Structure 1
Amino acid sequence: MLIICIVIASLWYLHQKPKAVVEEPTNVQTTVIRSNATKSEYTYSGEVRGRYESQLAFQVSGKIIRRNVEVGSTVNAGDVLMEIDPKDIQQTVNSTLAQVSSAESQVHLAESNLRRYSQLYEEGAVAQMTYEQYRNAYEVALAASQQASAQYAQGSNQLGYSLLYADKSGVISAIKAEIGQIVSNGQTVITIVQDGDREVEISIPENRIKDLQLGQELSVTFWALPNTMVIGKVREIAPMADPATRTYNVRVSLPNPPPEIKLGMTATVALAGSSNVADSIDIPLTSVYQNGDTPSVWVVDGDIVILKPVKLGQMNDKMIQVLDGLQQGERIVANGVHKLRQGQTVKVGDDSL
């Protein structure tokens, strides 16, 4: 009887013992880490210029009395572009010419005296000192004549400088003086763009100058020609920044530009950002789990989740940049991160991205 009671009690105990609870895996939405390899692109506005430009100026001062060209005029080398009033210069030339005549007369007189006293000295009629005085007088007169001739030649050149000639063939791109205006020597009055290559001049800030190198190809578009795009090459990079703007002037040559591209047109040059910048990793904002002061994400390892701290960077409305802590190819939980715990079993659903 006792044995029967023990058996019945054992069966009742086994029947009443609670069964072990089996945890069901939690469905999670995930995303796989992929780096962004896109490069930034910067655009700079510039102006179509000629590769060779001549800044022309008079070599003498005076009042402009004649102008033979307009902006856009085509000129050939040797054409007269402007003229200043030559009257004052002509008076100077006349004065120096008179000085030349006077000096030559003095030379003739000194030469006659020297010849006469040279004969008297040979005959012993005059002392050597007297002869040397007349010889010196002749040399002084000869030097004065040479000086007057040089001044006359200089004045004649000045008279020729009253005409401004085109030094090269090209197109007049700027006129900075008008008839009646008094200009000084060396003051630029006309700019000629010489026939030949065309370029775009742009200004690059100093933090982007490292992205450029000579011979680099850049795409150039034009505001007035929306359907025209030309591949240009960097021909020149200024060695020093402009002291006022703190930018570097860069010249981009345009090989074989279409004829519709005109001087002075506004151009846009596209420049890719530096390629040595590390690839960035962006993740959804909803995948960040804030554990105290340390931001973290849940990384899926097999069928469990592991909390991993990360270093964050810039963010926008939906994404945030990860600077450190994640590797390309890792799978992270994208939503519901505050409902998970360390080592929890999960079931991976569809990617959120």
Structure 2
Amino acid sequence: MFRHVLSLALPVSLIALLGACGNGQEVEAPPRPAMVVQPQPAGASLDTFAGEVRARLEPELAFRIGGKVAKRLVDVGERVKKDQPLAELDPQDVRLQLEAVRAQVAAAEANLQLASAERDRYRTLLERQLVSRSHFDNAENSYRSAAAQLKQIQAQYDVARNQATYAVLRASEDGVIATRRIEVGQVVAAGQTVFTLAADGEREVVISLPEQALDRYRIGQDVTVQLWSHLQQRYPGRIRELSPAADPQSRTFAARVAFQDADVPADLGQSARVFIRNAEDVPLAVPLSAVSAEGGQPFVWVVAPKTATLERRPVRLGAYGERQVPVLEGLREHEWVVAAGVHVLREGQKVRPVDRDNRLVELAAGE
């Protein structure tokens, strides 16, 4: 009996279903869930920049004379002491120059002795009135000229003697060789940088700031620094220096961040991250996953509170942070923004807004 009733019920249900499909009515797809967030105050977001630990003082060392490199005594990464020899030039040329000037000094001394004897002889003859006053004055002038010439050549000799010592390049202070730009046999000019010395003492973090956001940063601004070797801790710092010119290749501005604590365990070459809070100029921020772009124009999907449909909203963004990006124009604080899956959405699509815990969001509550 049950089988008979079931066999009669199945055709009836199939007929009803086919009748519903054939009446011309389109079955509406259910709203898809969309995780939404509200823009957060920018004070809750940080601009993050990757950096490198460097020495505060990094003098560029160079020979004071030109010549051919005969010896290179240190390499990159070696620790050196003040006045330690770093490299030597071929001393042959400076030695020859020193010998030439020394010979000139000897000649000038002999000339001065001759002029002195001549003056003394004319002085004796003048006292006996055997020569005129003008002859004695000529002898006196010759003596003074010879004395001045000797003084000049002695100064040249001192310069040549100093230059002989300039053939050896020495460290200006204690530190570590950061860069090396010479090899043995290379000919260098006077003043050409051959080593960069990372002097012992304070350490800083060098970062690059984007030119479109440079006006948000200033010297003395407080920041926090995180070292990759100590990820569990952040150290206070401040912007000590801002470059006045952009790098010609990256078009970014170099900035140096000084630690406020002298005991920070920062070593040369370590990687670091610098966090800069900018609550004054940037009003809101959204997650990076909420932003999409088309044709170079960034936009976000805003959920209309009354209809729960999507609206494509162009925005103007600031410098990207680690997890968030500041929104300079295009959003208001009470609006809801889709925070995930933005690449599969379309204009006017109806959604079911949920939070990160998959709980339904009352959009009107945020107005």
Give the secondary-structure state (helix, strand or coil) at the position aligned to 1:146: helix
**Inter-partner Cα distance in structure 2 for 1:43 and 1:153:** 56
AA matched with 2:175: G
Question: What corresponds to 1:172 in structure 2?
Answer: 177
Question: What corresponds to 1:198 in structure 2?
Answer: 203
- TM-superposed CA distance for 1:148, in Å, is 1.4
Question: What corresponds to 1:163 in structure 2?
Answer: 168
- TM-superposed CA distance for 1:262, in Å, is 2.7
Give the secondary-structure state (helix, strand or coil) at the position aligned to 2:269: coil
Aligned length: 278
- TM-superposed CA distance for 1:66, in Å, is 1.8
Question: What corresponds to 2:115 in structure 1?
Answer: 110
Give structure 2 stretches of 5+ with no counterpart.
1-36, 287-300, 317-327, 336-360
**Inter-partner Cα distance in structure 1 for 2:329 and 2:180:** 58
**Inter-partner Cα distance in structure 2 for 1:280 and 1:117:** 97
- TM-superposed CA distance for 1:143, in Å, is 1.5
**Inter-partner Cα distance in structure 2 for 1:323 and 1:181:** 59
* Alpha-carbon distance change, 214 to 104 in structure 1, aligned in 2, over 3 angstroms: same
- TM-superposed CA distance for 1:65, in Å, is 1.6
Question: What corresponds to 2:41 in structure 1?
Answer: 37
- TM-superposed CA distance for 1:139, in Å, is 1.4
State yes or no: 1:97 paired with 2:116: no
**Inter-partner Cα distance in structure 1 for 2:330 and 2:59:** 53
Query: TM-score, structure 1 length as denominator?
Result: 0.68
**Inter-partner Cα distance in structure 2 for 1:37 and 1:98:** 80
Give the secondary-structure state (helix, strand or coil) at the position aligned to 1:53: coil
- TM-superposed CA distance for 1:72, in Å, is 1.7
- TM-superposed CA distance for 1:38, in Å, is 4.3
State yes or no: 1:127 paired with 2:132: yes
Question: What corresponds to 2:303 in structure 1?
Answer: 284
- TM-superposed CA distance for 1:200, in Å, is 0.9
Kept in 1, the 8 Å contact 2:284–2:333? The answer is no
Give the secondary-structure state (helix, strand or coil) at the position aligned to 1:101: helix
Give structure 1 stretches of 5+ with no counterpart.
1-32, 297-311, 316-320, 330-349
Residue 57 (structure 2) aligned to one of 34, 52, 55: 52
AA matched with 2:158: A
AA matched with 1:189: V
AA matched with 1:351: E
Kept in 1, the 8 Å contact 2:175–2:199? The answer is yes
AA matched with 2:178: S
**Inter-partner Cα distance in structure 1 for 2:51 and 2:215:** 19
**Inter-partner Cα distance in structure 2 for 1:229 and 1:93:** 58
* Alpha-carbon distance change, 35 to 126 in structure 1, aligned in 2, over 3 angstroms: closer
Larger radius of gyration: 1
State yes or no: 1:233 paired with 2:238: yes
* Alpha-carbon distance change, 153 to 252 in structure 1, aligned in 2, over 3 angstroms: same
Question: What corresponds to 2:322 in structure 1?
Answer: none
Question: What corresponds to 2:151 in structure 1?
Answer: 146
- The alignment yields a C-alpha RMSD, in angstroms, of 3.6
Question: What corresponds to 1:351 in structure 2?
Answer: 362
AA matched with 1:125: L
Residue 207 (structure 1) aligned to one of 205, 212, 216: 212
Give the secondary-structure state (helix, strand or coil) at the position aligned to 2:76: coil
Give the secondary-structure state (helix, strand or coil) at the position aligned to 2:164: helix
Residues 231-264 of structure 1 show CA distances to partners (whole Å, capped at 9, x for unaligned) of 33211222344455443221111334544x4312
Question: What corresponds to 2:92 in structure 1?
Answer: 87
Residue 191 (structure 2) aligned to one of 186, 191, 197: 186
* Alpha-carbon distance change, 225 to 34 in structure 1, aligned in 2, over 3 angstroms: closer
Give the secondary-structure state (helix, strand or coil) at the position aligned to 1:191: strand
Taking the TM superposition and a 5 Å limit, the aligned residue runs for 1:307-326 are 314=315
**Inter-partner Cα distance in structure 2 for 1:85 and 1:41:** 55
Kept in 1, the 8 Å contact 2:223–2:236? The answer is yes
- TM-superposed CA distance for 1:272, in Å, is 3.2
Task: Identify which range, 272-281 or 240-249, moves more after superposition.
Answer: 272-281
Question: What corresponds to 1:262 in structure 2?
Answer: 267
AA matched with 2:303: P
